[in-house]
Every structure is written in structure tokens, then in C-alpha cells.
Chain A
Amino acid sequence: MIARPGSAVWFARHESRLAWRDWLAMMTAGRRERLQRAVIAIAIFVIFMHFVAYWMVGRYADATPDKATLITITASVLLSWLLMISQAMESTTRAFYSRSDLDLILASPAAVEKVFAVRIGTVALMMTMMALPLAAPFIDVLIALGGWRWMGAYGLILAMGAAATALAVGLTVALFRTIGAKRTRLVAQVVAAVIGAAFVIGLQVAAILCYGTLSRVSVLQSETLLALAPDVSSIFWWPARAAMGDGAALVAVLAMSLAILAAVIVVVAPRFGEYAVTAAGVGALPVSHARRPAAFRAMSPRRALRLKEWILLRRDPWLMSQTLMQMLYLIPPAVLLWRSFNAGNAAYQLLVPILVMAAGQLAGGLAWLAISGEDAPDLVASAPIPTGFIVRAKIEAVLGVIVMVFAPLVAVLAIASPWHALITTGGIVIAAAAATSIQLWFRTQAKRSQFRRRQVSSRLATFAEAFSSIGWAATAAVAAINIWLAIAPALLAFMVVIGTWFMSPRRV
């Protein structure tokens, strides 16, 4: 069937082709010959996730909708939904500010409300499609062990995608109208990240304050929450009931979500073009730095490079928010440290791996920015300094930020427990060095604005960075208990790093 040019179906086909090619490029890092390998990797991942799912949710397959079960399922649904809202906000912000084809569309005589109605619909579809591969193994296991009633969970995911997109679009437009186009981009991205992390962090902080532990389960299974939760017949549990196979609840949740999405599309789509045009004017306003001293400072090339990196990071709030957002996850350990101070309990044991893991992840992001995300690569490369010199200066810039972020936490820990502080310091240094090295071996030339897509350039580097950080965090955790026992995880983490080196383009 050939759709009439300019019609909603025609735009939908155009959008779906773009989305498919984007997804393909993301999975294959832009190389079609990798498609087969990507498909095999996804298949292995899906099979592996089924085992993980069996281990995690197998025992819930025969669960009845009692209050404790409903709380657990609702919490899982809420967590996933918040993550979907966060992702949908990101996509909506991109739709406003990314100029790729907006100028072409807005300059054409096509009806913009149709274009943006399709775009919002595509966001909803993408949210659902992104959630499905992650949720499917869990749902499959529940269906296999508990029966077809769990099929309702698939319907719930569709409802969650629609509702999350509706809420995200509504929130972004509200921000646009209240704080203006210039601030919305940054604020929306920060809000998106905070929404994504808020539930986990909130549960952890509650668990620490009430039970002195980082475990979220302790809150969800507490008597207090059971007593405070609404009755099992309450509308509040409809999403959980829908997942468990209650047909009426599923129809109600699905209908409500789709109706909200349709309402948002009807209200927002006609104004979308206007917002996009307003957003296009952002960035044209000059930002002055009149307070800066006029005199040039004496500096070596190394210092010049370090200072440049720090200034660029400091002046780019979007980039800073993306990088430091990982630090949100340090709030619970910081609360734990504050609560456990002088108590002499085992809480410090929990802090060590979290700090090490966070340092590894932060170093990875910063190292990409400093090493690969160079906006003037030719300028730096044509400077009269050896390449090794440039790389060293950039590594120093990364480690400088790591020191600034983690030194205060380690200093407080050192007062409470010098041994744990020593192990944490060692772990932070090694994890940061490993993550930086991985970024160095997989360095590519990119613009800093491509930070969000850095994982696309090399999946191997992304996974290696994550596994290395996890490995060093585990090593530090074990070392805090018994230094000799830490040899085994340390060897494993070391093998991850060495294995990555052997597979890296610098080595091959």
C-alpha cells in the first residue's frame, strides 16, 4: 500500500524507517557486517537473561494477589515506569532541540501537527520496544512456571510506554512554557535523570534511615509498609493486578494510558512546531566572561590542556549533569556514612565497593570526554608536543576530577575507619586507571556533544568498562574483609582489563 505523501501514515513510515536505521546503527556501531554478530550477541543475552529471571522471579510464578505480592510487583512496575519516563523525557527534549530534519519539515508545506503526532507516537512505541527485551525474560519465566495469566504483563508494558510518554511530553512542555526554551534543555535532562534514579535512591535512603542497610527489600517487606498500604481491592493495585492476569484491570489500565497519550497528542502536536522554532533560537545569545583576568598565565602545554578540559567541563552544564548524574547514586552511601559515623558497625563494608564502582564509572565518562571528545583534534595534534604528552595531560585532567569528587568522602571515611579508607583509595585509583585505560585503547574521534552516543562506538569498551568497575569494586569489598581473599577477584578484574587490551584496536 502506498501512503499519500504528507499523510500521517506516510510520516509514520518515514519515522519508522529512520528509527530502524538508528537502532541498527546503534547495534552494529554503524557497520552492517557486524549485524550477524550483534544478532548472536542479543540472542545469547536474551537466553542468559532467562536464567537470571528464573533465579530472580521464579518463586513468584504461583503468587496470589495478596498485599505483600502486590507491593513487590507495584514497586517493580513503578521503578520500570520511572525509567521509561526518564527515557521519554530525553527523547522529547531531543525532538525539540535536535535540528537534524526539523528545519526541512518546518520549511515544508506539510501539516506539522501530523508530523509531531507521529513523532510522539513513535516515542511511545520506542519506549515499549526498549522495555520489552528487558522485561520479556521475566514475563516468559512467569508464563512458563505460572501459566498464561502472566501474559497480561505484556499488555501492561504497552500501557506503561504510552503513559510514560504522555507524562514525559506533558512535563517537558510544561517546563518549556514555565522556564523557557533556554533552560528547559538542561533542566529536562536533569529532571529525567533524577526521576530515573529517584525511586531506587529514595528506597535506599529510607532503608538506611529506618534499618541501617542499603537493601531496598527491607523497606518493601516491612510491617510498617504493609500496614500503610491500601487494601487489596484498591485502584492503586490495578497495574500489578493487570500484570498478574486480571483482565478487567488490564483493559482499564490500557484504555486509560492510551486515552492520556491521545489527549496529549491532540493538545501538544499542533504547538510542537512553535516550540521547536523557539528552541532553535537558543544558543544565539552571547555568554560573556568579563570577570576573567585579562593577563595571560604562564603555563606549560600540559597545564594548558588540563585547564582547558576543566573549563570546558565546568562550562557545559548539560555535559556536567550527564557525567555527574552517576554521583546521584553516591547519596545513599553518603547517608549511610553519615548515619553510621562512630557507630563502628559493618556499614563501612558496604561503602567500599560502592565508592570504587562509582569512581570507575565516572572516570570512564570523563576519560571519553577528555580523550575521544576533543572538539579541536587537529589543533591539539598540530601543536609542537609529543602525542604521549597530550594523552598524559588529559589523563591528569580526568584523575584531577576524580580526586575532587572522592577525596572528601574518603577523608570522612578515614576518620571513621582508616583501614576501609585505605582499601577504598586503592580501589578508586585502580578502577579509575582501568576505566581510563580502556577509553584510551578504544579512543575514537568525536564531538563532545556526542557523549550520549559514546557507547555506540564500541560495545566492547562499554561492557569492559562496566565489568572492570564491578570487578575492582568486588575486589575492594573482599579486601576490606580479608586482603588475601581479594587476590581471586583482583585476578579476574585484571583479566578483564588485559583481555580488553588484547581485543582493543590499539593492540590489533
Chain B
Amino acid sequence: MISFRDMQHFPPPAFALELHNLVKRFDRPAVDGLDLNVRAGEFYALLGPNGAGKTTTLRMIAGLLRPDAGTIRVAGIDALADPVAAKRVMAWISDEPMIYDKLTPQEYLEFVAGLWCVEPALAERRARELLNWLELAAHAQQRCEGFSKGMRQKVALAGALVHEPRVIILDEPLTGLDAGSARQVKSVLRERVRDGGTIIMTTHILEVAERMADRIGVIAHGKLIAEGTLEELRLRAGKNASASDNASLEDTFLALVAERAEAA
């Protein structure tokens, strides 16, 4: 069995995620020659208007969609050549919690640990910590069917963390969560980054990206149109009349997207 401790013996590569010329077409190009690099230990927020290709990109990284062209490397592993090895170091959380109504959180975590071949004693200890941390311990033996959206998302998050992934991919994880649950989820993610994990997250809540992300990427029409820290993005958008030096991320984001729309 492979545990997180075993995986720790491998030196982490400089980039947790490398996308090169990634292409995915449905009726029209959803992702169109995307190049993106995320450093190890970084919190990276991917922003973009609806239909920009954010979820498609994340699903390709997680191995849930096969790209038409391009390369994906996760923690130095070629995810298209060896998807199993890439998935081993990765976790995926979508806006719809992927849990089973008829399982308890404890059973769910045991199942996920089994899928990721985590050593039982280690998984059990991690599960206990996570359930306490996310304030789910009191509900550990209750079936998930009666849980609120926030509780379900916290169970899904615990499942994603129980195998100690190096790279966590989150697609709108805070959608529909109340303030308390959102704060808990954010605190867990911040902690994970402090421990050396890498997080790539899409969100429509720009305040979250503004406060939490080390770098922000803006995607539109399947292409990365801007990338950098909030300051760098402000500078870039500042050239546009609609964004000032003290503009919020919302202003900056809208200015960048408008600039791109004009260029198109």
C-alpha cells in the first residue's frame, strides 16, 4: 500500500501543475491552447466568466476528461501517459459534493482511503482529525442523506484530504455554503497550503480569490488572458480606463474580460 508518508520520500517538483497547449473541443473549443504553470505549495485561483473553460480544464487535470491535444503534468507526472500515478497525488472536489447518501462520513472516508490504498491505521487517524477539524465528529456515524449542503461539502473535503494529496483541485467549492461552513473550508485549505500542498481552485466569489490566492489566472474563451498576483493584474488592467490603481479584484477582472472581448 502506498501512503502519503511513502510519497513524501520523493522530492517535490518545482511545478505542481504544468499545462501545455491544452485543447478540448465540444461543439466549439472549450479550452483552446491553454498554457498554465502552478508552482508547488501555491494557492492558485482560476477565474473567468461562465463558459470560459474553467471546469473543463479542471476536469481534464483530474483525469475526468481526455483532452484533444496538449500535455498535463501533475507533480512532475505525465497525467496522460500515466493517469493512475497522477491521480494518486491529486484530489478533486466539485461544487456538487460527491458523496453517498447511505454511507456515514466515517464509512465514506474508509471507502476513499481504500480507493487510494491508504494504510488503514493512518487513514483512520487522519479521518478522526479531519472529522474533528471540520466539526463533523458528532455526525460521524450518521448517514449523509440528511446532511445540509455545507455538511456534505465538508464530508467531500474530508474525503479529498484523507489521502493527503499534494495537489487539490477544487471547482467552485464554496457555492451554496453558509458563512460558517465557508470559513471552515477556507481555513482547511489555507492550512493545507501551509503544509506544502498546492491548491488550484475556480470560484465566482472574487473576495475569496483576492484574500486567499497567491496568484490568480483569468481565463476567457478557453485561453489564459492574464495571470499574476492581484497587484500584477491591477497593473495590467490599469492600462484600461475602467480599472484604477486601487481597483478591487472584481473591477480588475471585469476590465480584463472586457479588454479580451474587445480584442476578440
Q: Which residues of A contact B (CB under 8 A)?
A: 283-290, 292, 294-301, 303-305, 307-308, 311-312, 315-316, 375-386
Contact = CB atoms under 8 A, between A and B. Distances in A.
A382 B64 contact: yes
Contacts of A303: 114
* Chain A interface mostly: loop
Interface in B212-246: none
Nearest to A308: B111
Contact of B63 (A290, A298, A299, A382): A382
B115 A287 contact: no
A308 B87 contact: no
Interface string B52-93: 000000000011100000000000000000001111101110
Contacts of B145: 283, 287
Interface string B133-157: 0000001011101100000000000
B104 interface: yes
Interface string B89-126: 01110100011111110110011111111011101100
A378 B113 contact: no
Given A301-B115, A382-B64, A316 B102 contact: yes
Contact of A380 (B85, B91, B115): B115
Given A286-B146, A296-B127, A386 B84 contact: yes
Contact of B124 (A289, A296, A300, A376): A296
Contact of A297 (B64, B101, B116, B120): B120
Contact of A382 (B90, B113, B141): B90
B87 A384 contact: yes
19 contacts: A283-B145, A287-B142, A296-B120, A296-B121, A296-B124, A298-B119, A298-B120, A301-B116, A307-B111, A376-B99, A381-B64, A383-B87, A383-B115, A384-B84, A384-B85, A384-B86, A384-B115, A384-B116, A386-B84
A304 B63 contact: no
A303 B91 CA distance: 21
B48 interface: no
Given A294-B106, A299-B114, A384 B88 contact: yes
A315 B112 contact: no
A284 B146 contact: yes
Contacts of A379: 92, 98-99, 112, 115, 159
Contacts of A300: 114, 117
Residue of A287, A379, A381 contacting most chain B CB atoms (<10 Å): A379
Top 8 A-B residue pairs of the complex, sorted by shortest distance between their CB atoms: A304-B114, A376-B98, A384-B88, A384-B87, A383-B115, A379-B98, A315-B102, A296-B120
Contact of A289 (B85, B92, B101, B143): B143
Interface core residue of A289, A299, A376, A377 (most chain B CB under 10 Å)? A376
A267 to B, nearest CB: 33
A294 to B, nearest CB: 7
A304 B111 contact: yes
B103 A311 contact: yes
A38 to B, nearest CB: 26
B88 A285 contact: no
Contacts of B112: 379, 383
B149 to A, nearest CB: 14
Contacts of A376: 98-100
B120 A295 contact: yes
B102 A296 contact: no
Contacts of A384: 84-88, 115-117
